[in-house]
Amino acid sequence: MTATAHLVFNHDTCRMKLLIFIITLPLLLLASHDVEARKIRQSLKVTTMKEAKGKSGTKKDNDTVKGNDNYPSIEISLNYSDSIQFTLDGKDLLFHKRDLQFAGYDKGISSSRESFFLINRCPFNINGIAIRINYYDMQSRMLHSRDVTISCDIPAGETRKLDIPTWDTQHTFYYYLGNAPRRVASPYKVTILPLRLTITSHP
């Protein structure tokens, strides 16, 4: 009788373990499926954020490019001709170098900047200019030459003062038409040549 009871007990234990396994198996599978689903959703979310960031960056770049000027603009080279005919915003325009004038150049002995006036007699607005400045001593021997690009906003028919960093970093030269310093210094002359213009039509 003792042996028989022991066999029955083992049989019932096996049935119980099998029943527990059958009940818990779907729960385990469901939990595993939820974990994988969360991983997939998180992966999709990260990818979507990266794509959105990339699209946002592209849009920002495009806005920056389009936002540089509110009106149609063009860059023209002035190296080879005294007059240039071109089309801007559907209008035929004519540029003469004589309509672009520089005046009032100045640089004192202790100044860290050079200044001059740009007179715009052209029928369009100037938003940028590239110039070549040649520096000479009083015997017309070249001391230095450099190209400078300047951002500006000069409406048609108006004048603006422009400032640029000086070439004379040692402060040993002064412009000959300016005030002569008390200490020993060398006077110099300049020529300013326009190279390129960035222009816009009238608003």
Q: Quote the DSSP letter at residue 149.
A: E
pLDDT at 88: 75
Q: For all residues of the chain together, what is the average pLDDT?
A: 75
* pTM summary value: 0.61
Which band of pLDDT confidence, cut at 50, 70 and 90, is reported for residue 190?
Answer: very high
Q: How far apart are CA 113 and CA 115, in angstroms?
A: 7
Q: How far apart are CA 56 and CA 79, in angstroms?
A: 40
Strand partners, 137: none
pLDDT above 90 (res 148): yes
39-86: pLDDT as tens digits: 433 333 332 223 333 333 333 332 222 334 466 677 878 876 777 887
We find that the CATH architecture of domain 73-200 is Sandwich (2.60)
Which band of pLDDT confidence, cut at 50, 70 and 90, is reported for residue 35?
Answer: very low
Burial class (CB in 10 A: 0-12, 13-18, 19+), 175: buried
Element housing 165 (H / E):
strand 159-165
130-147: pLDDT as tens digits: 999 999 999 999 999 999
pLDDT at 48: 27
Task: Label the pairing between strands 173-175 and 186-200.
Answer: parallel
